Structure 1
Amino acid sequence: MSGSRAEGPVVQGWCPGALRPMMSGDGLVVRVRPRSSRLTATQARGVAALSRAHGNGLIDLSARANVQLRGVTETGRLPLVEGLRDLGLIDASIAQETRRNIVVQPFHRPDDPTLTISAELAQLLALPDAPDLPGKFGFAVDTGSTRVLESTACDIRIERDGQGIVVRPDGSGLAKHVTETTAAAEALSLARWFIATGGIREGRGRMAAHLARVGLPQGFTHPTTAQGFVARPGLYDAGAMVAFTFGQMTAETLAAIAGLGDLRITPWRMIVIEGATRLPDLPGLITDPDDPLLHVVACTGAPGCVQALGPTRDLALALAPHVQGLLHVSGCAKGCAHPGAADLTLTATPQGYALIQGATAHDTPIAHHSAAALIARPDLLTE
């Protein structure tokens, strides 16, 4: 193990951005938030070039449909930001960047309101009187023909419901009917209610936890039904969706897929290549929907993350062929790569890897094992 500290990991309470990067074990992490979760081919090639010039050439996809450049040096940070600004990928201020935490469903079509609503929501969040929301507070615009973002973490959801559109606070099955022209404003109104009723003061500033304490605001009476969606690589009406091992690629891989078209960044750590009618045969991609690597999630781990108490990805790779359901290997109890519950979780601790069943990285384990023992005996995962 790579440490012996007894205290828990430090919870920053905010996510890195481009204007406010976060230091990690391999340098600064600079997170780019593509507008409407989309990069043009030109922007994607530019991001790849900047990653090579000012970082270590590794690029992560986040669960919020963002792109993270790793290994950025202190001297390279400002030239990197200027390069991103030239590509139209920088907000006017840290506050605007932090508030523009919007995940957009990647299968939108020209005849649905997804891009219009997400653009209006971004404009409202950039206004001087926009609500000052917690750093991890987010929105989802899921107004395509079918909802696909129900398992994506966020706080306020703008969703398709039958032939109409609703705004729904995360943590509730009850929503409020809105229109295409009022959806963004209603979402902001719900965010203001969250602040006015103490959502920031109580807990870590998340909607679901706040609803459990204070209940719903008035007007949220329309019951919704979960539709469910399982993300897999393959061909879709919007294009070809490809995955990456642990959601990480090289700058060369990003440049290569940008050569095939504009890109839609998904919260499943996959990318949709717009308009593509076949799956590309390029190194570094997962295109098989049955690939066992799609069933494992792992953060950077040690030594890439200064908070990790052990390495993660070699262990996850070794165990991938032996697991059923979802396996999450986390370098610490924060569980950044997968904050929700997984079928099996291995959390690095000073005592080894804590084995947790059907819960999150910080929940109570049933056993502790060394990495060597788990690799030698994968059956320990299900004993």
Structure 2
Amino acid sequence: MGQDETRVPMTGFALRGWCPDAWRPMMAGDGLIVRVKPRLARLTAAEIAVLADLARRFGSGAIDITNRANLQIRGVREQGWQDLLRALVDRGLVDSDAALEGRRNLLVAPGWDRGDDTARIAEELLGRLGELPELPGKMGIAVDAGPVATLLDSPADFRIERAEAGGLLLRLDGRESGVSILPEEATDRLIALAHWFVETGGAAARRASRHTAALPQWARGDGRPAVGAAAPHGYGVPFGRIEGEAMVRLMAATGAAALRVTSWRQLLAESEVREPVEGFVRDPGDPLLRADACPGAPTCPQATVETRELARRLAPHVSGRLHVSGCAKGCARARPSDVVLTGRDGAFDLALRGRAGDPPTRAGLSPDHVLAHFGAS
């Protein structure tokens, strides 16, 4: 890969309204964010070691696990970004084609087995990314074809899911039901639905859940996704932030051949060993695992409030889901939460059973007022 191939205009670092990747990093308060998208949600021990080393050499050493099951290397220095990109491409962690890497927004249910419907469909989609139309940057695809659907609360726009009746569904996010499909036609149908979305003006809506055009007849159905047991519990990462070296320690402690990355900010070790590891939460009832919080100020220039320390103090006093957002964008969680705090002009707006930026029940609260409101002062 030549030097010219990795050059991206520096103005791209300041753009908003899209998700960063390795070819198009985003500038934050702590440096550039460089995103790595694990194929089939899986990273081998060797790949984990490489990521930890690169995060330390070119960034702050910190890695974020996103709600799309991606990894973000934090604090990357501008002068080192192209060297980091080159290393990620050389090691097969990033596609050498920037356009294909930008389209590789594929969320895979982490419980797949070799040769099952989830793995086969995901691998076929990865091989046919060039057939997808150009979609808005935040859009993504979920392949959730295990015994039950486990990604219902994870962000995606086009969904292939296990149906209640046992077959597969193709469903547009925001629609309660989908159309039954055969496993061998899943990729063709999904690509066709993506083209329909663009051709009917969906790009203006930017997300499938906001696109109100009537579905084509072939994409209509009354099948519902199969809902079963809760998603498997692994090694929890509060707020998704972990040091790369902690991931290396996790591999060593469990003897795992690989880790599966989840959209609920947990790592599943491919191992029967379940040793506690410093930096990870093993108790599935820990209130921090019910809390979402973006990096907040000063890490994110969009935020006007600190978020994560407040979330840590508040989480044990909130029943249900807590979302603390530094601004109305709500990057940490797109779905509704039981308690939502949105930063605005250095204070917080409080909403219940909603999303970041929703009309508040109380506005302009200081962190102390928030804690007192929930009896956490």
> TM-score, normalised on structure 2?
0.90
Question: Closer, same or farther in 2 for the Cα pair 1:217/1:189, shift >3 Å?
Answer: same
SS in 2 for 1:223: coil
Task: Give the Cα separation in 2 of the matches to 1:182 and 1:54.
Answer: 43
Partner in structure 2 of residue 284 of structure 1? 279
Partner in structure 2 of residue 346 of structure 1? 341
Q: Is 2:111 the partner of 1:118?
A: no
Partner in structure 2 of residue 172 of structure 1? 175
Letter in 2 for 1:222: G
**C-alpha deviation, 1:311, in angstroms:** 0.4
Partner in structure 1 of residue 147 of structure 2? 145
Partner in structure 1 of residue 244 of structure 2? 251
Question: Closer, same or farther in 2 for the Cα pair 1:380/1:44, shift >3 Å?
Answer: closer
SS in 2 for 1:257: helix
Partner in structure 1 of residue 269 of structure 2? 273
Task: Give the Cα separation in 2 of the matches to 1:377 and 1:342.
Answer: 17
**C-alpha deviation, 1:307, in angstroms:** 0.7
Partner in structure 2 of residue 372 of structure 1? 368
Q: Which stretches of structure 1, 4 residues or longer, exceed 4 Å deviation after superposition?
A: 229-233
Partner in structure 2 of residue 225 of structure 1? 224
CA contact (8 A) 1:51 1:69 kept: yes
Which structure has more relative contact order (CA 8 Å, sep 6+)? It is: 1
Partner in structure 2 of residue 238 of structure 1? none
CA contact (8 A) 1:174 1:220 kept: no
Task: Give the Cα separation in 2 of the matches to 1:190 and 1:157.
Answer: 10
Question: Closer, same or farther in 2 for the Cα pair 1:150/1:17, shift >3 Å?
Answer: same
**C-alpha deviation, 1:78, in angstroms:** 1.4
**C-alpha deviation, 1:258, in angstroms:** 3.0
Partner in structure 2 of residue 357 of structure 1? 352
Which residue among 51, 54, 65 is the counterpart of 2:69?
65
> TM-score, normalised on structure 1?
0.89
Which residue among 185, 188, 191 is the counterpart of 1:185?
188
- Where does the alignment leave 5 or more consecutive residues of structure 1 unmatched? 1-9, 235-240
1:1-383 to structure 2, matched below 5 A, reads 12-125=16-129, 127=130, 129-161=131-163, 162-200=165-203, 202-203=204-205, 205-210=206-211, 212=212, 214-228=213-227, 234=233, 241-259=234-252, 260-261=255-256, 262-274=258-270, 276-350=271-345, 352-368=347-363, 369-379=365-375
What is the total number of aligned residue pairs between the two structures?
Answer: 359
Question: Closer, same or farther in 2 for the Cα pair 1:263/1:298, shift >3 Å?
Answer: same
Identity %: 41
**C-alpha deviation, 1:242, in angstroms:** 1.1
1:317-370 deviations in Å (ceiling 9; x for gaps): 111111111111111110100122110111111161111111111111111310
- Where does the alignment leave 5 or more consecutive residues of structure 2 unmatched? 1-13
More helix by share: 2
